[in-house]
Amino acid sequence: MSSVDRATARRVEDLLRELAPQVLASLVRRTGRFDDSEDAVQLALVAASTEWVERGIPDNPRGWLVAVARRRLIDQTRSEVARRQREEGVSQAATAGRDSIDEADDVVDEPPAHDDSLILLVLCCHPSLTPPSQIALTLRAVGGLTTAEIAGAFFVPEATMAQRISRAKERIRSSGARFELPAPAELDDRLRAVLHVLYLIFTEGHASTSGPDVVRADLSAEAIRLTRLVRRLRPDDTEVAGLLALMLLTDARRPARVGSAGELVPLADQDRARWDRALIDEGVALITDALADGPVGAYQLQAAINAVHDEAPSTDDTDWLEILGLYDLLARVDPSPMVPLNRAIAVGKVFGPEPALAIVDALAEDPRLAENHRRYAVRAHLLEDAGRRDEARAAYVEAARRSTSLPERRHLEGRAHRLS
């Protein structure tokens, strides 16, 4: 494939990913059939990925996709009606079904007055679904990823992921959920769920919890894209701004986070000249405005902590006292066990390793952290700073044993070996 063809294919891929949730929203809004509509849209995307590269992008790409997807849905409905007719012998029902289909086929699709993608995001994060199902459905329906891509990202068989997505769509259908935003009293809670799902997707992309890669740039990029969408639709929500700022400030360090051999490079050892200054500037501006405009939430505080890291010329020049103060605030609004664990790192930088070790050891009483490899890794670093080499080496070995990320495991084993 020539460079021109590759550029065209990439442009088509980007456009399809952007349009997919809009097309799906159009079909679901009209038919109320999430499952069937999603299948029809996927078939339309496959057709477009070939035809547009060969013949060029049509003048109205969204309308092209809607028309093709609707025809696929009509064909599917007709097949289902014919099957029922054969099974039940009810010709009258089949005729009625064909009449309604033909009528729907004549409807001219027009873009809604507002972007329905937020409704689709909220629907994918329905409270009847578990977080893993919400993530999978969001990536499939709103992110435009294939089932195989999602399965590969989370290291599960494609058939397993297909079942998870299918069950999620069935659960939404059986719950009687409508394609509309919930009542105002419920919307804020549902948006919090949307933000949490996007945060989880980004976190998995930034720090892969399993497999051979340090990062999965496709997941983190998709989380940023979807959060920008929510930000565009809810520009006055300071926590949306905080989450986007957190992602940008964190992703800015990605180029320096992976070494030439694919190894994990910790923050203290990163070449800060490789950080993306444009993302840092955008993230700092976002979090500065968000903190000034509204109530302070967990995403804003995490973004503020990352802004301090990103603006420091080195680890030694980092304002750890400010970071500690931000963690103190974060501990009041976020019950996550990771907050006191990360706060312990700041305590170690400000007051020395021994007070920080007391915090980490106390966290062993929390069942959510007692067996977590991250607690052992933080403890190992603090023991090393305290000059307790043998204990540090043992903690590094234990942290490596518990880690499911191959690059992180190698990094921790390397730290242990260095203390031998």
Contacts of 67 (CB under 8 A, 6+ apart): 109
Q: Where would I find the beta strands (DSSP E) of 333-380?
A: none
CA distance 409 to 143: 30
What pLDDT was estimated at residue 60? 92
Residue 210 structure tokens: 């399993």
* Contact indicator for 403, 409 with CB cutoff of 8 Å: yes
* Contact indicator for 218, 254 with CB cutoff of 8 Å: no
CA distance 9 to 338: 42
What pLDDT was estimated at residue 177? 84
What pLDDT was estimated at residue 109? 54
CA distance 41 to 64: 11
φ/ψ of 33, rounded to 5, equals: -105, 90
For 261, other C-beta atoms within 10 Å of its C-beta total 7
- Let me know the angle formed at the C-alpha of 112 by 108 and 118, rounded to the nearest 5 degrees: 135
**Burial letters 289-323, b for 16+ CB under 10 A, else e:** ebbeeeebbbbbbbbbbbbbbbebeeeeebebebb
Residue 164's nearest CA partner among 135, 142, 193, 144 is 135
Contacts of 318 (CB under 8 A, 6+ apart): 308, 309, 312, 349
Give, for all 420 residues of the chain, the pLDDT tens digit: 566 577 888 888 888 888 888 899 888 888 888 888 888 998 999 999 999 998 999 999 999 999 999 999 998 888 877 777 777 765 454 444 444 334 344 444 555 545 577 788 888 988 889 988 998 998 888 877 778 878 877 778 899 999 999 999 889 888 888 888 788 778 877 888 899 899 988 998 898 887 788 898 888 998 998 899 899 888 999 999 999 999 999 999 999 999 998 999 999 999 999 999 999 999 999 999 999 987 899 999 999 999 999 999 999 999 999 999 999 999 999 988 899 999 999 999 999 999 999 999 999 999 988 889 999 999 999 999 999 999 999 999 999 999 988 999 999 999 999 998
